[in-house]
Amino acid sequence: MKVLLIGATGNLGLRLVASLLTHNHSVVAYVRSSTKLESLLPESVFRQITVVQGNATDAAAIKRAILDAGCDAVVNTAGVAAVAPWAKTDLPVIFRAVVDGVREAGEERKRPLRVWFLAGLGVLHYPGSEVMLSSYMPIFLAHRTNHALLASLPPNTLNWSMLCPSTMTPEAADMTVPTPPSKSGKLIASATTPPAWQDSGMNAGRYDTTLEQNAEFIAGDLAGGEASQWSGKAVGVISEGK
Ligand SMILES: NC(=O)c1ccc[n+]([C@@H]2O[C@H](COP(=O)([O-])OP(=O)(O)OC[C@H]3O[C@@H](n4cnc5c(N)ncnc54)[C@H](OP(=O)(O)O)[C@@H]3O)[C@@H](O)[C@H]2O)c1
Ligand SMILES: *[C@@H]1O[C@H](CO)[C@@H](O)[C@H](O)[C@H]1NC(C)=O
Ligand SMILES: *[C@@H]1O[C@H](CO)[C@@H](O)[C@H](O)[C@H]1NC(C)=O
Ligand SMILES: *[C@@H]1O[C@H](CO)[C@@H](O)[C@H](O)[C@H]1NC(C)=O
């Protein structure tokens, strides 16, 4: 697919450039600074992508970038959720702008786009309940606001999925294409609740994954085209074997 990657200079965004190229997607990176992105990628990788400069709070520019390049999919990794409920974050403003831009582009091309958003573990439900984990531990609450926005959209406006990882750490500092297989294995995923939940003992650390694993997960899902089992879902992930 042709993928607009918003936030390509970030921790996850950089790994997504490499994973998307490895899966033979075309990458259009939407970033505030092309120079910054160029400085963070090997020259051989930077040469394989198209760059559009813009602000992730600018819905009209996002719409234009999608339509000008003819993208069929979008991944948004721009904006970061704050830990504390009272801390300031521009993630909800960015998130709304991306939703609006992508929705309007879908209307204009008469077909909704496939979109991956990022959230966190707290958006997932405690297994067997309708209660989000962030009700027990109220951190990173911007993700809840964002999920509520997606859930409120009329059908057939966005073909969205929301990846809900816990802490993600890097495996390597350099981006290579093709990407090597992850040292931590593949991710196992489930919709709405965390996969492989254990009611006894400590669950928290079990859901730590790597940036490379999550990038591979999204790029692999988009390789299936528009038919994804994760469409319209919040998706929990865990490393295989955990
Ligand atoms: N890292 C984790 O452990 C973790 C765990 C769960 C969920 N998440 C979520 O995953 C997402 C990505 O995380 P990350 O670690 O990759 O974040 P990150 O490294 O901080 O990257 C954030 C990206 O957002 C871009 N950005 C911020 N404001 C922007 C704006 N107005 N216009 C355009 N771009 C803008 C930044 O671009 P510049 O380079 O221009 O500043 C940067 O590329 C976040 O939403 C985070 O909350 C992260
Ligand atoms: C990507 O394309 C190359 C060259 O055509 C091919 O060898 C490779 O198998 C493709 N990769 C995937 C994941 O489809
Ligand atoms: C991006 O937009 C926000 C609000 O819309 C603004 O505060 C910020 O200065 C803009 N950043 C750039 C680099 O244009
Ligand atoms: C969205 O994706 C689902 C499965 O991933 C697909 O069946 C459906 O046709 C898509 N919806 C639209 C409106 O494109």
Q: Where are the domains of the chain?
A: 2-239
Task: Dihedral sign for Cα 171, 177, 38, 94, please.
Answer: negative
Domain 2-239 fold is Rossmann fold (3.40.50)
CA distance 84 to 141: 8
**Residue pointed to by tokens 């830990």:** 83
Under DSSP, is residue 103 helix (H, G, I), strand (E, B) or coil?
Answer: helix
Tokens of 107: 């209307």
pTM over 0.85: yes
Run of H or E including 21: helix 11-22
Q: Best of 150, 231, 233, 235 to mutate for ligand 4, by most ligand atoms within 8 A of CB? A: 231
Pairing of strands 73-76, 114-118: parallel
**78 pLDDT above the threshold of 90:** yes
Name, in order, each residue with C-beta under 8 angstroms of 103's C-beta and a sequence gap of 6 or more: 112, 153, 157, 158
CA distance 223 to 104: 24
DSSP-derived secondary structure letter, 3: E
Contact 161, 2 (CB under 8 A): no
CA of residue 157 to ligand 2 center, whole Å: 31
Question: At 225, is the pLDDT very low, low, confident or very high (cuts 50, 70, 90)?
Answer: low
Instruction: Check if 55 has its Cβ closer than 6 Å to any atom of ligand 3.
Output: yes
Contact 194, 119 (CB under 8 A): no
CA of residue 199 to ligand 1 center, whole Å: 32
Question: At 226, is the pLDDT very low, low, confident or very high (cuts 50, 70, 90)?
Answer: low
Tokens of 222: 């988009």
Give the distance from CA 16 to its chain's centroid: 9
pLDDT mean across residues, the chain: 95
Dump pLDDT digits (tens) for 87-127: 999 999 999 999 999 999 999 999 999 999 999 999 999 99
Nearest CA to ligand 3 atom 7: 57
Say what percent of the chain tops pLDDT 70. Answer: 98
